[in-house]
Amino acid sequence: MEKKRILTGDRPTGRMHIGHLKGTLENRVKLQDEYDSFIEVANIQALADNFNNPSKVRESIYEVLCDYYAVGIDFDKSHVFIQSEVPEINEIFIYLANFATVQQIQHNPTIKTEMAQNKFEISTPLGFFLYPIHQVADILCVNADLVPVGKDQAPMVEDSRLIARKFNSTYGVKIFNEPEALYGVKVNVPGIDGNEKMGKSLNNGIYLADSEEELRTKVFKVYTDPNRIHATDPGKVEGNVAFAYLDLFANDSQKDEVEEMKKRYREGNIKDVEVKERLFEIMNAYLSPVRERRKEGESIKDELLKKALRGSREISEIAKETVKKMKKAMLIEFK
């Protein structure tokens, strides 16, 4: 039996952090054996937001490839590819756009949020506005069966299903699957400042590329319980980033120890510095191999790019078949 296809990806706009690691990257590594895995470096969509900063996007392609390598994505197993090297996606997008509406995009919650963040309400770049449907083209170009997403990305998968269905039914064909969302366990990785999101623009992230020293510095800055003045004050564990990270990075043999530390923290029986020291040890043990592998990745980054370009050619061939079928359905096949 053929493996099911999954599609994931990232916009290359910077290095990846532990939010990405826990939110999606580790999951992709787990899935790459069971599924036929397509991982897109979405540089066209990154340019849509950063068209006046192309070097950032260019450099970030390498960063993201090194991050993939660092976490254990196997470039000979997963099909890592560069979006702009699969021009068929744009062609597929144009034809799918007939089955999407402007209003559908306007009501997309992600677009609404990003419109506000970018102050795009008065002047909305078209490239940005159409990206939810361009993502649909990403998904449908390889006819993905499953799209691993967080709940906040559910509209993207819903759009894909709807557009696939409309295209198929309009032309009486079965070209597209209706892809399904693959919801993972929801993982919250707060920023070191206690913000519920971690992000480059918030300057609150711990990056896979961070050195041991950088990790230590950041860990010792994590937001804990601001109302706790003395080590003997009872402290709060909820909303405490140190404990959030301990829950995320402690291995099974360390779980009991973490629970014990929480208990002592609540009782006012442990210093913040002691918690942080242990957090650093645990995180560093977890992230050291990733960091080492990332260094290795950096030394072979041209090779990684080459593999991504090879992947792009593979996806391009698949997408060409999709275009061919679509054109036949729309009666615009010429011989």
Residue linked to tokens 């999954």: 6
3-state secondary structure of 194: coil
Whole-number Cα distances in Å, 35 to 10, 137, 174, 232? 19, 20, 22, 51
Select from 30, 77, 98, 202 the one that contacts a copy of itself (CB under 8 A).
Answer: 98
3-state secondary structure of 61: helix
Task: Kindly write out the interface string for residues 154-193 of this chain, putting x where it contacts a copy of itself by CB under 8 A and - elsewhere.
Answer: ----------------xx----------------------
Select from 76, 103, 119, 185 the one that contacts a copy of itself (CB under 8 A).
Answer: 103
What order of strands is seen across the sheet that includes strand 79-82? 79-82, 36-41, 5-10, 146-149, 180-183
Among 299, 283, 298, smallest CA distance to 206 is for 283
Amino acid present at 179? P
Separation CA 254–CA 246 (nearest Å): 9
Which two tokens mark 49?
């937001």
Number of residues that this document lists for the chain: 335
Select from 68, 129, 207, 249 the one that contacts a copy of itself (CB under 8 A).
Answer: 129
By the rule CB under 8 A, 52 interacts with a copy of itself: yes
Buried b (16+ CB within 10 A) or exposed e, 242-251: bbbbbebbbe
Part of the chain binding a copy of itself (CB under 8 A), chosen from 83-91, 150-158, 223-231, 252-260: 83-91
Select from 34, 54, 214, 296 the one that contacts a copy of itself (CB under 8 A).
Answer: 54
CB of 139 to a copy of itself, least distance (A): 16
Tell me whether residue 46 or residue 219 sits nearer to a copy of itself (CB atom): 46
By the rule CB under 8 A, 48 interacts with a copy of itself: yes
Tell me whether residue 47 or residue 209 sits nearer to a copy of itself (CB atom): 47
CB 46 within 8 A of CB 61: no
Among 81, 60, 42, smallest CA distance to 308 is for 81
Residues that bind a copy of itself (rule: CB under 8 A) add up to a total of 51
Q: Among residue numbers 304 through 323, which ones bind a copy of itself (CB under 8 A)?
A: 305, 309, 323
By the rule CB under 8 A, 269 interacts with a copy of itself: no
DSSP state at residue 237: -
By the rule CB under 8 A, 68 interacts with a copy of itself: no
Tell me whether residue 104 or residue 195 sits nearer to a copy of itself (CB atom): 104
By the rule CB under 8 A, 72 interacts with a copy of itself: no
Task: Give the residues lining the site for a copy of itself (CB under 8 A).
Answer: 43-44, 47-48, 51-52, 54-55, 57-58, 82, 84-85, 87-88, 90-91, 93-95, 97-105, 122-130, 133-134, 170-171, 305, 309, 323, 327, 329-332, 334
